[in-house]
């Protein structure tokens, strides 16, 4: 933080925008449309395409979602302090800079696997434990605490619970994800314990023409009402540093692991599914419309006076009641082995890794989550089994003037 009370990060970021070239601009909050246009046009195999690591914001949030993700939850080893956390962040920054541009990590033992980043991004988050470990509890955002218990829906398994650190690794190539995951974890292996790894996927790059909303494994279009990269995105996702100057340019992540009860879902007929969702399954249109992106008319009634979109449907319950209740979802499907101790006798172990980014969990996310917990027809077929929240620090500045910048510096230094 600057000594004049102006957050250092803000001034810093302005310099990045003013002084930087196209790369800095591309990552500087102009949204994913820009990032997409910049990077997808590259000739040659898709594996050589890159997403810029540096910028005001971390990559992997406004970045057009890659096909594969690994979310890694890690706990700090006994005795972690500010020096040690700083060391981890410097190592991760260095390795992320290298890996995202297709270069081997600093101590890469399989450098040939680093050659094709395929739009690799590495995004780091801080759980509450980090603030304690570094003696900065006063800098923890107020919203950085466990979500309220939702006893009617939650069946939380501590195996998927809160961790001190999060690394989100995304790429259009699964070999790249596997390699980056291993490099990032092994270089700090004595300082952290991996608690869980959640691997997810969307449609492979190129399977569909761009612009399709992804479908989840229940067959529903998932994300129609998501924030688009317009002015609202920046305002609703990125922290402005007002409450915590160190966080300017950062955001928050709510990560929920939501199991899909596919076996019982399959017993529900199509009309039942459409009433549950409030949407047409074939094209995702609300039951009051014809196109996926038509605005649902929650007041429309049929000839018998019955609401066309049931008030308890997922669309009706999840819809924001005012503009400030919106957040940005960047979800991935998971489909793990259907056998094993956690799923005796079940045919599938599938669901959604629900990742929601927003500036303020309390005002944007919680009202919607509470409404869904109170009632949502879809709840019968979805079960939250994991839950964690993270503060996502701002991005890392590039260039000589920013020598020594690293992930989390504004929290850890001064």
Rounded Cα–Cα distance for residues 162 and 173 (Å): 27
Helix (H) or strand (E) holding 386: strand 382-392
What are the C-alpha distances in Å from 170 to residues 61, 316, 331?
10, 31, 12
* Torsion (CA) 374, 378, 383, 384 in degrees, nearest 10: -60
Counting contacts by CB under 8 A, is residue 158 touching a second copy? no
Q: Pick the catalytic residue from 108, 222, 376, 405.
A: 222
Strands 349-358, 382-392: parallel, antiparallel or unpaired by DSSP? unpaired
Counting contacts by CB under 8 A, is residue 335 touching a second copy? yes
Which residue in 2, 19, 22, 109 binds a second copy (CB under 8 A)? 109
Total of residues contacting a second copy (CB under 8 A): 58
Which has the closest alpha carbon to 318: 188, 407, 185, 222?
222
| 173 labelled catalytic | no
- Identify which of residues 11 and 111 has a Cβ nearer to a second copy in the complex: 111
Counting contacts by CB under 8 A, is residue 185 touching a second copy? yes
Beta carbon of residue 44, minimum distance to a second copy (angstroms, whole number): 8
Counting contacts by CB under 8 A, is residue 182 touching a second copy? yes
Contact 59, 168 (CB under 8 A): no
In this chain, which stretch among 94-102, 174-182, 231-239, 313-321 interacts with a second copy, using CB under 8 A?
A: 174-182
Counting contacts by CB under 8 A, is residue 150 touching a second copy? no
Show the tokens assigned to 57.
Answer: 């914001």
Locus of tokens 């980043």: 117
Counting contacts by CB under 8 A, is residue 243 touching a second copy? no
- Identify which of residues 284 and 296 has a Cβ nearer to a second copy in the complex: 284
Angle of helix 82-100 relative to helix 174-186, nearest 10 degrees, comes to 150
Show the tokens assigned to 10.
Answer: 């803000």
What are the C-alpha distances in Å from 239 to residues 15, 163, 387, 393?
18, 22, 22, 9
Which residues lie closer than 8 Å to 159 by C-beta, 6 or more apart?
Answer: 195, 196, 342, 386
Beta carbon of residue 381, minimum distance to a second copy (angstroms, whole number): 12
Beta carbon of residue 333, minimum distance to a second copy (angstroms, whole number): 7
Which residue in 9, 57, 98, 202 binds a second copy (CB under 8 A)? 202
Counting contacts by CB under 8 A, is residue 71 touching a second copy? no
Counting contacts by CB under 8 A, is residue 209 touching a second copy? yes
Counting contacts by CB under 8 A, is residue 204 touching a second copy? yes
Counting contacts by CB under 8 A, is residue 266 touching a second copy? yes
Which has the closest alpha carbon to 1: 205, 94, 138, 102?
138
- Identify which of residues 336 and 413 has a Cβ nearer to a second copy in the complex: 336
Contact 55, 21 (CB under 8 A): no
What are the C-alpha distances in Å from 27 to residues 31, 54, 332?
8, 7, 22
In this chain, which stretch among 31-39, 144-152, 262-270, 406-414 interacts with a second copy, using CB under 8 A?
A: 262-270
Beta carbon of residue 283, minimum distance to a second copy (angstroms, whole number): 9
- Identify which of residues 248 and 277 has a Cβ nearer to a second copy in the complex: 277
- Identify which of residues 311 and 340 has a Cβ nearer to a second copy in the complex: 340
CB-side neighbour CA atoms (13 Å) of 178? 5
- Identify which of residues 151 and 341 has a Cβ nearer to a second copy in the complex: 341
- Identify which of residues 5 and 211 has a Cβ nearer to a second copy in the complex: 211
What are the C-alpha distances in Å from 39 to residues 33, 44, 140, 212?
10, 12, 35, 18
Counting contacts by CB under 8 A, is residue 140 touching a second copy? no
Counting contacts by CB under 8 A, is residue 292 touching a second copy? no
- Identify which of residues 181 and 411 has a Cβ nearer to a second copy in the complex: 181
Beta carbon of residue 299, minimum distance to a second copy (angstroms, whole number): 28
Counting contacts by CB under 8 A, is residue 32 touching a second copy? no
Rounded Cα–Cα distance for residues 90 and 405 (Å): 8
Which residues carry out catalysis?
A: 222
- Interface with a second copy by CB under 8 A: which residues? 44-47, 67-68, 109-113, 116, 118, 172-176, 178-179, 181-182, 185-186, 189, 194-197, 199, 201-209, 215, 217-219, 262-263, 265-266, 281-282, 333, 335, 337-339, 341, 347-348, 350
């Amino acid at each position: 933080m600057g000594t004049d009370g102006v957050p250092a990060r803000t001034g810093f970021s302005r310099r990045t925008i003013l002084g930087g070239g196209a790369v800095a601009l591309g990552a500087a909050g102009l949204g994913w449309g820009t990032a997409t246009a910049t990077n997808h046009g590259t000739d040659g195999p898709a594996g050589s395409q890159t997403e810029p690591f540096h910028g005001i914001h971390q990559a992997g949030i406004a970045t057009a979602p890659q096909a594969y993700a690994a979310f890694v939850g890690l706990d700090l080893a006994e005795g972690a302090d500010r020096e040690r956390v700083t060391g981890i962040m410097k190592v991760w920054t260095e390795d992320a800079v290298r890996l995202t541009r297709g270069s081997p990590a600093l101590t890469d033992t399989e450098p040939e696997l680093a050659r094709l980043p395929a739009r690799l991004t590495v995004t780091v988050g801080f759980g509450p434990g980090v603030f304690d470990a570094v003696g900065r509890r006063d800098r923890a955002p107020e919203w950085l605490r466990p979500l309220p218990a939702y006893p009617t829906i939650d069946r939380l398994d501590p195996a998927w619970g809160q961790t001190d650190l999060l690394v989100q690794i995304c790429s259009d190539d699964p070999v790249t994800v596997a390699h980056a995951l291993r490099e990032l974890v092994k270089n700090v292996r004595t300082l952290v314990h991996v608690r869980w790894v959640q691997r997810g996927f969307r449609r492979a790059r190129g399977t569909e023409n761009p612009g399709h909303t992804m479908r989840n494994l229940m067959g529903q279009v998932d994300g129609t009402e998501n924030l688009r990269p317009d002015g609202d995105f920046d305002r609703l996702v990125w922290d402005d540093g007002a409450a915590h100057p160190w966080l300017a340019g950062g955001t928050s992540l709510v990560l929920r692991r939501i199991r899909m009860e596919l076996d019982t879902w399959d017993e529900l007929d199509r009309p039942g599914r459409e009433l549950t969702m409030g949407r047409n399954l074939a094209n995702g249109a609300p039951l009051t419309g014809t196109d996926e992106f038509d605005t649902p008319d929650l007041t429309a009634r049929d000839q018998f006076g019955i609401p066309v979109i049931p008030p308890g449907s997922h669309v009706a319950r999840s819809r924001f009641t005012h503009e400030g209740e919106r957040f940005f979802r960047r979800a991935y499907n998971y489909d793990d082995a259907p056998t094993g101790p956690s799923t005796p006798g079940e045919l599938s172990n599938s669901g959604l890794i629900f990742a929601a980014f927003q500036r303020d969990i309390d005002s944007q996310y919680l009202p919607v989550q509470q409404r869904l917990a109170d009632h949502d027809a879809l709840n019968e077929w979805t079960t939250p089994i994991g839950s964690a929240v993270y503060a996502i620090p701002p991005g890392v500045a590039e260039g000589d003037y920013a020598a020594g910048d690293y992930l989390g510096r504004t929290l850890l230094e001064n």
